[in-house]
């Protein structure tokens, strides 16, 4: 094993600093778009919902994750079916990952006004790294032959989503197939071949809304995450809706960060959100936290009839 291969391995290891707990893309405003975590959410409203999200993690830390996500989902006519499309791009160091998934859900009446949906997703991730982004000591080393190495990993996911007018609960596994879960690097040091990791994630969510008065609504929620070979993590969230226009909230993400967020309901169709992560790990000594912006647009035949903004 050459020193150059070891150095390249270290670079790729740093590219995935949070690899043990962040194989799936991390965002802070998932509570406003559960499709990011659970395919069962697809079509849970009577109208279509689209969103764009941009996240810059660990500002000022070179090679830190940078994420873009686009999604859209809605019902299939007046049936019990829902559909959704989820596209994402994540860049960490010299590694790029682009995912595309189709989602489908079937919604059943559970009890009262509550419904239970079973969702499935299928698609995959396209992984690549660019040698041209590396600083090498010997450009002639065959380890760095070619400008880009790539790999496509197909995958499927599933989720259950129980919801009513003022609560929700979900269980999901967004990516069921694991690839090289025991490996700690994204490179086979003996051959120089890219070996992307993809570890199965398990998510459990629950949330509700509590009306204090007509102008103040509380929305507490919890997300529990389990990843193979990593400790269980949890997010404890509390968001407050003021005058049906402005969301203000925060989250505590165990072992990782404290999050502050705001979301403005510009109109019944348009909303804009921003969040900032205050890093609580040693990374706080090397970065300026994480920024995230989300734009959502809801449209459909009855969207203008809504008396209050959607809660989730």
Alpha-carbon distance values, 239 to 32, 40, 208, 209, 280 (Å) = 11, 23, 10, 9, 21
The 10s digit of each residue's pLDDT in 110-163 is: 998 899 999 999 999 998 876 666 555 555 555 555 566 788 889 999 999 999
Mean pLDDT of 234-251: 96
**How many helical (H) and strand (E) elements, i.e. helices and strands, does the chain have?**
1, 17
Lowest mean per-residue pLDDT among 81-90, 130-139, 170-179, 231-240: 130-139
Q: CA gyration radius for the chain?
A: 21
Model pTM score: 0.84
Question: What structural domains and CATH numbers belong to the chain?
Answer: 3-305 (2.40.160.40)
Separation of alpha carbons 172 and 162, rounded Å: 12
- Helix, strand, coil content of the chain in percent (nearest 5): 10, 50, 35
pLDDT single digits (tens) 260-294: 999 999 998 999 999 999 988 887 777 788 999 99
Q: Is 173 helix (H, G, I), strand (E, B) or coil?
A: strand
Output DSSP code: residue 25.
Answer: P
> Distance between CA atoms of 22 and 183, rounded to whole angstroms?
14
Tokens, residue 36 = 């990011």
Arithmetic mean of pLDDT, 216-238: 93
Percent of the chain residues past pLDDT 70, beyond the cut: 77
Q: How far is CA 283 from CA 49, 81, 231, in A?
A: 35, 43, 18
Using CA atoms, how far apart are residues 242 and 190, in angstroms rounded to an integer?
A: 58
């Amino acid at each position: 094993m050459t020193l150059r291969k070891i150095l390249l391995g270290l670079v790729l290891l740093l590219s995935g600093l949070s690899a043990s707990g962040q194989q799936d893309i991390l965002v802070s405003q998932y509570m406003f778009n559960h499709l990011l975590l659970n395919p069962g959410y697809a079509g849970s409203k009577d109208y279509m919902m689209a969103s764009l999200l941009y996240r810059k993690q660990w500002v000022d830390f070179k090679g830190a994750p940078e994420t873009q996500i686009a999604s859209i989902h809605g019902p299939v006519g007046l049936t019990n079916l829902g559909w959704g499309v989820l596209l994402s791009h994540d860049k960490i160091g010299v590694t790029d990952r682009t995912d595309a998934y189709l989602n489908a859900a079937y919604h059943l009446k559970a009890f009262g006004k509550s419904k239970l949906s079973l969702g499935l997703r299928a698609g995959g991730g396209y992984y690549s790294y660019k040698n041209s982004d590396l600083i090498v000591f010997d450009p002639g080393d065959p380890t760095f032959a070619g400008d880009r190495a790539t790999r496509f990993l197909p995958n499927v996911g599933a989720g259950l989503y129980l919801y009513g007018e003022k609560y929700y609960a979900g269980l999901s596994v967004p990516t069921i197939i694991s690839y090289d879960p025991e490996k700690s690097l994204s490179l086979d040091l003996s051959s120089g071949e890219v070996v992307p990791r993809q570890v199965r994630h398990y998510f459990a969510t629950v949330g509700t809304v509590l009306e204090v008065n007509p102008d103040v609504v509380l929305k507490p929620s919890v997300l529990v995450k389990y990843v193979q070979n990593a400790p269980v993590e949890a997010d404890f969230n509390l968001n407050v809706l003021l005058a049906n226009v402005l969301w203000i909230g925060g989250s505590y993400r165990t072992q990782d960060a404290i999050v502050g967020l705001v979301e403005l309901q510009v109109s019944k169709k348009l909303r804009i959100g921003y969040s900032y992560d205050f890093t609580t790990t040693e990374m706080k000594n090397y970065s300026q936290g994480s920024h995230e912006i989300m734009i959502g647009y809801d449209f459909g035949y009855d969207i203008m009839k809504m008396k209050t903004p959607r809660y989730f």
